[in-house]
Amino acid sequence: MKKFLKYTFAIFLLALCSVIVVFWTPNGHRLDIQSAKAKAKKYDVRIIRDNWGVPHIFGKTDAETSFGLGYAHSEDDFSTIQETLIAARGMSAQYKGKGSAPADYMFDLFKVKWFVEQKYQTDLKPKTRAIARAYADAINLYGAEHPKQVKSGLLPVTEQDVIAGFTWATPFFYRLDGYLQDLFTAENAPKVSPWQQTSDLNLPEAVRGSNAFAVAPSRSDDGHTRLIVNSHQPMTGPYAWYEAHVVSEEGLNLAGAGFPGTPILTQGVTPHHGWAHTVNRPDLVDIYALETDREKKPKRYKLDGVWEDFEISKSKFRVKLFGPFSLPITRDILWSKHGPVLSTPTGHYAVNFSGLGSVTALEHWFEMSKVQSFKAWKTVLSQQGVLSFNIVYADKNGNIGFAYNAKMPKRIEGPDWQGVLPGDQSQLIWTDYQPFSELPQIWNPETGFLFSANATPFKVTDGASNLPRANYSKTFGIETRMTNRALRTLKLFSGETKISRDTLLKRRADTQYDPESQIMQMVAALLKQDFDTPLLKEAQAVLGNWDGDTSVNSRGAALAIITGTRALGYEYIENEMPIDIAFAKTAKDLMNVFGRLDPEWGEVNRLQRGDVDLPLDGAPDVLRAIYADRDGITKTGVMNAFAGDTHIMVADWDTFGNLDLQSIHQYGAATMDENSPHYDDQAPLFVRGEYKRFPMTLDAVLPLATRDYRPGNGLETK
């Protein structure tokens, strides 16, 4: 009996050890602290923090400025940079749990790591590789100096990780995730977008707006050229803007903003020119329904009447369980001649999308900041490394422009490309792209004014310079929507002979809904309904007295906006809840919290950050775009802003080409350091609609310096 128990115990221990071996999370990467510090010494970069804490980064080479950017951003938000690194390796589930498993599978399905490994040397210039390497070295240096902040097994980061992060994220800016989720039923749709994986409120649509304005000398009242960069992003997280200034002796001098994990600034202003992005929605994704040899675990699919073998590989990742344990997962990856294949409850679908396998976005974005002439900038843009985005441009010579930028597939005419396509016809598989010259674009229009507000590209100025829709193929899938912001811009600027700086800035922050906007149409529909309760009759009267304004003193805005966002989503384009139910719920909530149906909008709409708690103008899809938690009043009694107007730049070139630059950030330079005075120091200016002066030269920065240091070399002068 003792021998039996002995053997049984031994078998149990062996089984337990086997289980531990299988489920114990591997140690992963291990940072060599001395090596990280040694690599950092080759970079001679100077970081000067101005009186707002904004880093001005000076280096001899472009790579050194990237090193400085990586180090400065790590000081201000190392935690979010690590989050982007986790996603760039397809390891989100290992650190966050099963909710992130679909994203890791998609990372493998799209072969992000494989494409980077295959194309890193061949498709990227040595200078681009040096930029990515320098940024990685900076993150590793910061981690070596602050080991307690480093997530286990994550560092060192490599330059390939940096490129992979760009490659993985860029298709989601044109909403690739929306196309993919449409293939699943509502119950099993995976959350695969970086927007959804990282938004505290799980609201990816709330960051889909942006505004941009350009005024030529012929249209300004003083002969100046002006550009307003006004992208709408989340206020925190991996898609929140980080403001910086990078200057090298190789010709780089860019003030602007980028995201955690990006070694460059993706939009901004140089002494020569500037550009702003707004999100566009061209049709850059195609879905093909496949006929397969069997429903489960298929091996073949039919194409042109012939059975073709799938290319089959494996996705391997781990899912966090508890403590040091994680579950190893292995799933098949299928590829057809169309592209990656998704197996869903409704069938097997192949996906082809713009930028699949492309690794050049970082390179082309960086080159846009380096060139110094209008012609050279357009040449860089025509390379189409940047997959989407409207672009509004202006320069010191008085040139302005608008481009509906997209890496547009070259498709045959005739099929309904916006629906699910038959997967058995090879003629529907595209492999090439339209040249940039075929896309909608306007340069130096007679009207002297251009804007973009996420609407149709055929209404981007106030006169006869707009492009005709008929000139462009239906296969482009160009949107027809007019946002409230576009309606208001056309109304505010149409017929204006000259546009002054003050007028431009005031109208950029307009707080009004147009009568043709979705929310005002919703209000009109509610006013026609016959409600039978005193509360809703009173609520109708409140709406009837509301003029569509969203300034802090407005009464009625809270009832209308909360109802609208609950019923129609944060952009008023969804159908999330019946309008009458949303109306009744909102009326009840307002009475419970405020004791009235028409509290002032500033009581409800707030900017809360650190010690700051201020009333805030604006609302979803007004030019002063502010997105706040629509259910906040039932949680905390107010709606705290989480997206919208964030980093804004106002570039002004005088008649001699001299640049005057101002900017504002919704919070401050220390995006995640609550102990820093710059955690919330810009918030009061932001609320008041004011801007800070932005210096562009070393001589202009030095008088404002609060800290002057050289990371990796132990030198600090202030």
394's enclosing H/E stretch is strand 390-395
Percent helix, percent strand, percent coil in the chain, to nearest 5:
35, 25, 40
DSSP 8-state secondary structure symbol assigned to residue 617: -
SS3 (DSSP) at 239: coil
**Pairing status of strand 400-404 against strand 390-395:** antiparallel
pLDDT given at position 228: 98
pLDDT one-digit tens code per residue, 493-516:
998 789 999 999 999 999 999 999
Residue 164: pLDDT band (50, 70, 90) is very high
pLDDT given at position 29: 81
Residue 476: pLDDT band (50, 70, 90) is very high
| 339 alpha carbon, distance to own chain's centre | 25
pLDDT given at position 142: 98
Mean pLDDT of the chain: 92
Burial degree of 594 (CB within 10 A; 0-12, 13-18, 19+):
middle
Which residue would you say has higher pLDDT here, 654 or 188?
654
| pLDDT (mean) for 248-254 | 98
Which residue would you say has higher pLDDT here, 224 or 14?
224
Strand partners, 256: 244, 268
pLDDT one-digit tens code per residue, 465-475:
999 999 999 99
Which residue would you say has higher pLDDT here, 188 or 22?
22
| pLDDT (mean) for 88-102 | 91
Residue 184: pLDDT band (50, 70, 90) is low
For helices 518-528 and 534-545, the axis angle rounded to 10 degrees is: 140
Residue 1: pLDDT band (50, 70, 90) is low
pLDDT one-digit tens code per residue, 201-232:
233 333 457 999 999 999 999 999 999 999 99
pLDDT one-digit tens code per residue, 345-372:
889 999 999 999 999 999 999 999 999 9
Which residue would you say has higher pLDDT here, 604 or 199?
604
Q: What percent of the chain has pLDDT over 90?
A: 84
Residue 238 scores a pLDDT above 50? yes
Residue 6: pLDDT band (50, 70, 90) is low
Residue 443: pLDDT band (50, 70, 90) is very high
Structure tokens at 209: 């707006």
**Pairing status of strand 285-289 against strand 421-422:** parallel
SS3 (DSSP) at 159: helix
pLDDT given at position 714: 73
**Pairing status of strand 340-344 against strand 626-628:** unpaired
pLDDT given at position 177: 79
96's enclosing H/E stretch is helix 92-96
Which residue would you say has higher pLDDT here, 183 or 254?
254
Residue 548 scores a pLDDT above 50? yes
pLDDT one-digit tens code per residue, 686-700:
999 999 999 999 999
Structure tokens at 596: 């009235």
pLDDT given at position 209: 79
**Domains along the chain with CATH numbers:** 518-645 (1.10.1400.10)
pLDDT given at position 182: 75
pLDDT one-digit tens code per residue, 551-607:
999 999 999 999 999 999 998 988 899 999 999 999 999 999 999 999 999 999 999
Contact 190, 181 (CB under 8 A): yes
Contact 392, 269 (CB under 8 A): no
Q: How far is CA 284 from CA 290, 422, 434, 476, in A?
A: 19, 17, 11, 8
pLDDT one-digit tens code per residue, 104-138:
999 999 999 999 999 999 999 999 999 999 999 99
